[in-house]
Structure 1
Amino acid sequence: MTTLPPTRIPDPYDAPAIRWGVLAPGGIARAWATALHATTRSRVVAVGSRSAERAEAFLAELGAERAHGSYEALVDDPDVDAVYVASPHSQHHDHALLALGAGKPVLVEKAFTRNATEAAAVIDAARARGLLVVEAMWARFLPHVDVVRRCLEDGLLGEVVTVSADHGQRLYPDGPQRLADPALAGGALLDLGVYPVSLAHLVLGGFTDVRATGTLAATGVDASETIAVTGPGGGFGTLSSTMLAKTPCTASVSGTRLRLEVDGVFYQPNVVRLLDPDDHELDRYEPPSREHGLAYEAAEFARLLVAGRTESDLLPLDETLAIMRVLDDVRRQLGVGFPGEG
């Protein structure tokens, strides 16, 4: 019987313990720090915010040791081994460079920056200083995505013909204000669409062609998009994202022999099913847990840092940059720009 390969992703608790500083204590930072403390041996020891009150509230909630009323004070904290940048997309470039300038390795929330020019600047700065930097595209570090990766490496599916993925959440017009604001690099693409784009980039090994269509919000940011991509091997992808409606958020990869389907939300810890052409289930992968998936990226970062590495094989910096170029191309086709991009 044809079976799925096992995941190679270790238990997050087995990763070395490092001391984190959180830059910008918003909602994603809270979820990330909660997962970190629940399932790893690393700890948040400091938090930095432009608001001392917000920093103190985060400190009290998570039990961190020190709250800083500025980002500069956070990155200069000698007890911080690495900085997690959780500010809006529009500020990732500046905040990552701030941390790198202080000699701190950085985990930068997705999307990595507003555009490829900014991404290249961060990557060049990290390489010049020999510092670790990783994009916090958390799905890339999850066990079930490694099962997909191994299927591709082993040729289990045959030649990949198509990949499909969608990500839609009802976040506009009544959701977070930043998503409607061009000055904060809002829109569906950088917040939601980056997930299916990143998955398809992994599956197809990059893109040779990208075609996009979509709709804009009244503020000029993208509200929805459908993206057709072609890989260098001839496989193609159909990807979609929207902040106007909740969608199934599923993904599938179809090859000439077999097909993979990720049940439920594809970018969270989930089941992967292996199907034959008659839709018979041949095997399935069950995740060890469906909770605290954000811990896996933090655990990978800790392993890399202690090993003296400067980037992750699971999401190399050149691939982060290539994906940013794809997002730039999609925005260009949709007619979406951000203030100050040049």
Structure 2
Amino acid sequence: MTITWGVLGTGWVAGVFTEDLLLAGHRVAAVGSRDPGTAAAFAARYGIGRAYGSYAELAADDRLDIVYVATPHSSHHPLARQCLEAGRAVLVEKPFTTNPADARDLVALARGRGLFLMEAMWTRFNPVIVKLRSLVSEGRIGEIKAVYADFSVAHDFDPAHRLWAPGLGGGALLDLGVYALSFASMLLGRPDSAEAMIAPAPTGVDANTGILLGYGSGAVALLHCGLLAESPQAATVVGTTGWIEVGTPFFRPTRLVLHRHRAAAETYSADIRGHGYVHQAEEVARCLRAGLIESPMMPLDDSLSVLDTAHAVAQRSTTARRSILERTPSTSGTP
């Protein structure tokens, strides 16, 4: 069974995922955009047969097995909902939505109609991350006591750019922090407490964010995301009998190193196919062929948990944000 995809959106991530779909032998049959010319150009670039000048037309195409929603964060909820209402299975680019309420709305709709729905957290399907989960479940480092992850990049400040624009779901937390939050959730589950310090940009979105999560087991997660400086983009998982270093960048690693007390380090490596999205596409195909409406590797409850945590982080940081804003000039410029 060849999986037939529709791609909703024509931006950078839509392009690289389409390339990986074709590399994996999937069929990309349609693309949708708000601009007919943009849709036609994208279709011509990738040899796609049908180009729609509206998202509604793509959602209504019942020849598609699944639609990939690759638009900016703020439109994930309405466009994914439109596709689900039309009876389409949906893969939604991360973050799943910009708030927990919208995420729960999509989950309820998909489950109620028996439709496949998944957040495109491609890191979960990376073979090195799959190996990491296996090592942890086998008890190779004992009980997890700490998770460290950071994802920060240097972006020039532009209030019109989606990363800096509140109306487009901007900020480090939703764009980069979800990787670190999902990584911690994958290993430790839903946290029992969440604290944060946030340095805001002049537009009000978070520009540099530190997160501390606590768990009933006594474990902690220390996470960082930001838009002001390049970080190592590293991750480490610490257990009672050893620790695992995940190769950088941790969201697309090709190796990890297992350290155990009084034992030689062990290195595991894996080749990454294409841009790294092939493994995600293969999991979607496996689920569709098996008639599953959720992926056990990226369950919807995990996506809900991550957004709940992100919301808690934002709420806990209100006082810190207000204090920083009082010291931040209101004029635009590099934060």
Change beyond 3 A, Cα 1:150–1:175:
farther
Partners of 1:291 and 1:79 in 2: how far apart?
26
Q: Can you list the C-alpha shifts for 1:270-290, whole angstroms capped at 9, x where unaligned?
A: 201111346x64311111236
Residue type at the aligned position of 2:15: R
Label 1:63 to 1:290 Cα distance change in 2 as closer, same or farther (>3 A).
closer
Q: Does 1:308 align with 2:291?
A: yes
1:35 maps to what in 2? 20
More displaced stretch, 124-133 vs 142-151: 142-151
Report what 1:238 is aligned to.
222
Q: Which moved more, 1:197-206 or 1:113-122?
A: 197-206
Structure 1 counterpart of 2:113: 129
Could you list the per-position Cα deviations for residues 115-163 of structure 1 after superposition, in whole angstroms to 9, with x for gaps in the alignment? 0000000000001100000000110111111111112211110111111
Q: 1:118 aligns to what SS in structure 2? A: helix
Q: Where do 5+ consecutive residues of structure 1 fail to align? A: 1-15, 337-342
Distance in 2 separating the partners of 1:291 and 1:100: 29
Report the counterpart of residue 156 of structure 1 in structure 2. 140
C-alpha distance in 1 between matches for 2:131 and 2:217: 21
Contact 1:165 1:240 in 2 (8 A): yes
Q: Which residue of 2 aligns with 1:10?
A: none
Partner of 1:299: 282
Report the Cα distance in structure 2 between the residues aligned to 1:166 and 1:227, rounded to whole angstroms: 10
Write the distance in 2 (CA, Å) between the matches of 1:172 and 1:209: 33
**CA 1:317–1:22 in structure 2 vs 1: closer, same or farther (change >3 Å)?**
same
Equivalent of 2:247, from 258, 263, 278?
263
Identity of aligned residues (%): 40
Could you state the TM-score of these two structures normalised by the residue count of structure 2? 0.92
**CA-to-partner distance for each residue in 1:187-221, whole Å, 9 max, x for gaps?**
11010000011101111122111111110010011
3-state DSSP of counterpart to 2:95: coil
Distance 1:290 1:245, change over 3 A: farther
Shift of 1:175: 9.2
Q: 4+ residue stretches of structure 1 with deviation over 6 A? A: none
Contact 1:269 1:290 in 2 (8 A): no
- The match for 2:329 is none
TM norm structure 1 = 0.90
2:2 is aligned to 17
What RMSD in Å do the two structures reach over aligned CA positions? 1.5
Identify the residue that residue 306 of structure 2 maps to in structure 1: 323
Q: How does 1:41-56 map to 2 (within 5 A)?
A: 41-56=25-40
Q: CA deviation at 1:292?
A: 2.3
CA contact (8 A) 1:205 1:232 kept: no
Q: Which residue type is aligned with residue 77 of structure 2?
A: H
Instruction: Give the number of equivalent residue pairs.
Output: 319
Q: 1:281 to 1:247 in 2, by over 3 A?
A: farther
Helix, strand or coil for the counterpart of 1:241? strand
CA distance in 2, matches of 1:134, 1:98: 15
Q: In the alignment, which of 58, 63, 71 is matched to residue 42 of structure 2?
A: 58
Distance 1:208 1:266 in 2: 24
2:238 aligned residue: 254
Report the Cα distance in structure 2 between the residues aligned to 1:281 and 1:49, rounded to whole angstroms: 53
**Letter in structure 2 aligned against 1:118:** D
SS in structure 2 opposite 1:225? Answer: strand
Gaps of 5+ in 2: 322-335
Q: Distance in 1 between matches of 2:168 and 2:196?
A: 22
Query: Would you say the 8 A contact 2:158–2:164 is kept in 1?
Result: no
